[in-house]
Amino acid sequence: MIMLLSIIMSLGIAQEPTTPPPPIDTTYTTKKIEINDDVEAPVTHQIVRRLALFPLAIDEYKKEADAAWWGIREFFANSQRFLVATKRLMSQKDVFQPRKAIVPTDVILLAKVLDADCIISTFVNKNSLKMIAYDGDDGFPLWEKSLPFNASLPVEKQVESLSMKLAKDFIASLPYQGFQIVDPLIGKPVYEEGDVNLAKVDIGAKAQAQVGEQVQWITIERQSSAPLFQGGGLVRVLAEGEIIKTENQTVLVEIKRVNDVKQLIEKSLVSIPSESARLHTLYAIEEPGRPKISTLMLAQPMHPTETKSSQARPLLTSLASVAGLVALILLAF
């Protein structure tokens, strides 16, 4: 019997945990971003869902400017990625008027009045049409772009087409294509099913993501007052996963690797590389040397995800092995 106990003790009841894979420290770009004095501390970007679009500031061509406003508003609304403020709402708030460049303090005030995550102004800047999308939280630009007028064509004939190109480029420039949601029947952002961790992501009705495609959970921290999506932000990859099911405008994702599963919460930003590439091909304004992601992007240290059942399996295996050995010894006696 003493021999039996010594054998069991030498085997050990609990199996030592396996060594986790080395942390990932991959830099996708090496662009150095200097922190600007205008930004007191890094601000984490929140998802843009509510958008307010101000009338185009083109005094000479008000009719064409009005038509352009309706066109790009319809485009943003039809993308089904944004809730776009109506003309009626903006008029009721007494803010529906053409605006050019807006200072951060005014951006924050207007965003609060309109309950908007992002506000957009479009205006003539010298011989070009310029559009700026501002972050409603900190007042600084998210993105901006200018397109020159063709000198051989009347300006009024170009307002609608140029403004639409700019609106499409903004969509293509977003570093994320979805956000995490909580299934009301489950009640939590990440849940276990068997040996895997799962999460639901809203990608919009127009997205074309498919089963088997990869996704990444990201955060974006502002590093300067430059446009966030154009060099002013730091993108960190928190987790990686794979789409295992699509349903209407949502996808079910199996989380493969994660830094800390507690960081994956409701409204977390989710990037889908395949969808990003599709939107870039469809909408991005082609520029020589323009990268698909113009921010610094880093991968956080990550490890394969584990569920409670998968963590318990090594212990059960050890107990089963010990039990089998005990049975053989008892039979020998």
Contact 169, 287 (CB under 8 A): no
Convert the pLDDT of each residue in 137-165 to its tens digit: 999 999 999 999 999 999 999 999 999 99
Q: What is the pLDDT of residue 41?
A: 56
What is the torsion angle, in degrees rounded to the nearest 10, for the CA atoms of residue 283, residue 74, residue 227 and residue 56? Answer: 120
What is the bridge-based pairing of β-strands 296-299 and 233-247?
parallel
b (16+ CB within 10 A) / e for 217-246: bbbbbbbbbbbbbbbbbbbbbbbbbebeeb
Task: List the domains of the chain with CATH numbers.
Answer: 20-45+175-282+289-333 (no CATH), 50-173 (3.40.50)
Who contacts 285 (Cβ-Cβ below 8 Å, separation ≥6)? 145, 147, 165, 166, 168, 169
pLDDT tens per residue across span 11-62: 443 444 444 433 333 232 223 333 344 445 568 999 999 999 999 999 899 9
Do 269 and 179 touch, CB atoms closer than 8 A? yes
**DSSP string spanning 236-255?**
EEEEEEEEEEEETTEEEEEE
pLDDT band at 291 (very low <50, low <70, confident <90, very high): low
Under 8 Å between Cβ of 195 and 279? no
Could you tell me which residue, 266 or 23, shows the higher pLDDT? 266
217: left (phi over 0), alpha (psi -120 to 50) or beta: beta
Closest CA to 136 of 177, 191, 168, 95: 95
pTM beyond 0.75, yes or no: yes
